[in-house]
């Protein structure tokens, strides 16, 4: 089978999509990736109007379909950048759209486009119920992880001192995260992401002091952070905590590195991990602080939970697992 991915291929998303695609390649499928932002540039660097970009994307896709002849196209998009009625006019095989954002995804402003796709995947059970109630064929597909890339590392002293900490968080500041972290800033917390060092994004000086870098961290440096931290923290961004939904990538990447994750409880969590044994979970701000205070000094227990989490990732959450699930939906 030939599979074409259409997605944004820069930064952390590009890393993830490329690793996701290898799950299909491991079964012998031929995979090709297109970056929808680059498709919109064409040969004219001055072509900047939305109408022009829209046309360039579709022309590039039509050409790729003629040349590559894919059996399936998987779109991973943040906005409704493609006209699926138009695509169906020149492409008759399977069209899959993967929602990695859940409730609030901009593509849900209208559902008319779903009539022209063969399968809609989502990382949110809440979104799945919403879609199915409206007659959309929607299947739940959690993120997967490349367990060879995200794995325990033995760092040299210099890297261990820089990347390691008792508690770590990778991501952007939000009002809720700032409030929750302010109560544990003196517990060996390190936060990563360029916005944490800016007073406009993080008004609390006590938290700005915990920022280890003024740059965003991606790629191998993230693996170093995961591997050298005693406990990683994961707090949903607003508004995904009402109702709580979506296991972010970190829910899989951190355990794959053999590190204990303290993550916000979502309904999808217990399908993937056993809380208390493979990850730690909290359901309120008070419980978050209580869990940090209870567990952050118990390195032996944290290491055991991290090891259990990695085993679960190896057994159930690889990209090969996810590729098999997706292909099963297509039949």
Q: pLDDT over 70 for what percent of the chain?
A: 98
pLDDT class of 45 with cuts at 50, 70, 90: low
pLDDT class of 125 with cuts at 50, 70, 90: very high
pLDDT by residue (tens digit) across 142-178? 999 999 999 999 999 999 999 999 999 999 999 999 9
pLDDT class of 43 with cuts at 50, 70, 90: low
pLDDT by residue (tens digit) across 178-205? 999 999 999 999 999 999 999 999 999 9
Domain ranges of the chain: 2-141, 157-316
If one compares 243 and 293, the residue with the highest pLDDT of the two is 293
Question: 68-82 burial string, b = 16+ CB within 10 Å, else e?
Answer: eebebbbbbbeebbb
* 36 contacts 17 by C-beta, under 8 angstroms: no
Dihedral, 250, 256, 258, 264 alpha carbons, nearest 10: 30
Please check the confidence at residue 296 and state whether its pLDDT lies above 80.
Answer: yes
Question: CATH code for 2-141?
Answer: 3.40.50.11930
pLDDT, position 58: 95
pLDDT class of 40 with cuts at 50, 70, 90: confident
DSSP H stretches of helix in 139-249: 157-163, 175-182, 205-208, 220-228
Question: CATH code for 157-316?
Answer: 3.40.50.2000
* 202 contacts 196 by C-beta, under 8 angstroms: yes
Residues 40, 55: Cα–Cα separation, whole Å: 8
Residues 251, 316: Cα–Cα separation, whole Å: 13
Average pLDDT over residues 23-35: 97
Residues 264, 5: Cα–Cα separation, whole Å: 30
Sheet containing 94-99: give its strands across. 30-35, 2-7, 72-75, 94-99, 119-122, 138-140
Average pLDDT over residues 21-45: 90
Cα–chain-centroid distance for residue 100?
7
Q: For the chain, what is the mean pLDDT?
A: 95
Average pLDDT over residues 23-45: 89
pLDDT, position 172: 95
Residues 183, 159: Cα–Cα separation, whole Å: 27
pLDDT class of 237 with cuts at 50, 70, 90: confident
The set of residues, in sequence order, having a beta carbon less than 8 Å from that of 93 and lying 6+ positions away, is 70, 71, 72, 73
* 5 contacts 31 by C-beta, under 8 angstroms: yes
Q: pLDDT over 90 for what percent of the chain?
A: 90
Average pLDDT over residues 75-96: 95
């Amino acid at each position: 089978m030939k599979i074409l991915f259409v997605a944004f291929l820069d930064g952390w998303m590009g890393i993830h999509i490329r690793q996701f695609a290898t799950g299909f390649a491991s079964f012998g499928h031929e995979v090709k990736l297109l970056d929808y932002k680059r498709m919109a540039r064409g040969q004219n660097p001055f072509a900047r109007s939305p109408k022009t970009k829209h046309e360039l994307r579709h022309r590039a896709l039509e050409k790729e379909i003629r040349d590559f002849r894919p059996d399936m196209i998987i779109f991973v998009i943040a906005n409704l950048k493609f006209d699926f009625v138009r695509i169906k006019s020149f492409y008759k095989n399977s069209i899959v759209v993967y929602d990695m954002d859940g409730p609030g995804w901009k593509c849900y402003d209208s559902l008319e486009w779903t009539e022209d796709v063969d399968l809609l995947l989502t990382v949110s059970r809440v979104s799945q119920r919403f879609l199915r109630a409206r007659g959309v064929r929607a299947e739940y597909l959690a993120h997967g992880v490349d367990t060879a890339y995200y794995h325990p590392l033995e760092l040299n002293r210099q890297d261990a001192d820089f990347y390691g900490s008792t508690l770590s968080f990778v991501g952007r500041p939000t009002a809720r995260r700032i409030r929750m972290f302010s109560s544990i800033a003196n517990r060996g917390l390190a936060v990563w992401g360029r916005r944490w060092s800016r007073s406009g994004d993080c008004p609390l000086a006590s938290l700005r002091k915990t920022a280890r870098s003024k740059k965003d961290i991606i790629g191998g440096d993230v693996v170093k952070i995961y591997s050298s931290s005693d406990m990683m923290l994961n707090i949903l961004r607003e508004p995904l905590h009402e109702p709580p939904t979506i296991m972010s990538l970190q829910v899989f990447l951190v355990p794959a590195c053999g590190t204990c994750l303290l993550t916000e409880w979502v309904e999808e969590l217990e399908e993937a991990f056993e809380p208390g044994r493979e990850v730690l979970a909290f359901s309120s701000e008070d419980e978050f602080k209580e869990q940090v205070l209870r567990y952050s000094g118990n390195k032996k227990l944290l290491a055991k939970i991290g090891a259990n989490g990695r085993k679960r990732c190896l057994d159930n959450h690889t990209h090969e697992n996810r590729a098999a699930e997706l292909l099963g939906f297509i039949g």
